[in-house]
Amino acid sequence: MRESQGIRHVFVKDLTLDALIGIYDIEKQKPQRIIVNIDLSVQEQPGPLPDDISHVVSYEIVAKKVEAIVARGHINLVETMAEKVAEACLTDRRVLSVRVRVEKPDIIPNARSVGVEIERIQR
């Protein structure tokens, strides 16, 4: 029997936070709701997966990284927020690529949300 090796997707869906984000004066003073979605492509190790958290990329740690970025203070652009999140996720060498979507749901009245989605690959 051959051992399989593949890619696992670890994700955080619809993480909703209050953030100081935006270019307008009011956005620099009053937090607004953002929604962050993250999908990580993670290289699986050969052989069976031990049933132990230390052997996987933890979605809890990923969510805490996003919370820490938001807690650092004001960011002008959703693009910058997405880049910071992607960079933080790629510090784990097991992560082959990351897709990050940052949405601002309360900006344009006739739209469910606006924002940006990026994908970055481990170098």
28 is catalytic: no
* DSSP notation for 51-81: S-GGGS--HHHHHHHHHHHHHT--BS-HHHH
From the candidates 28, 65, 84, 104, which is the catalytic residue? Answer: 104
Tell me how far apart the alpha carbons of residues 11 and 59 are, in angstroms, rounded to a whole number: 6
Interior CA angle at 116 toward 91 and 27, to 5°? 100
Which positions are annotated as active-site residues?
Answer: 104
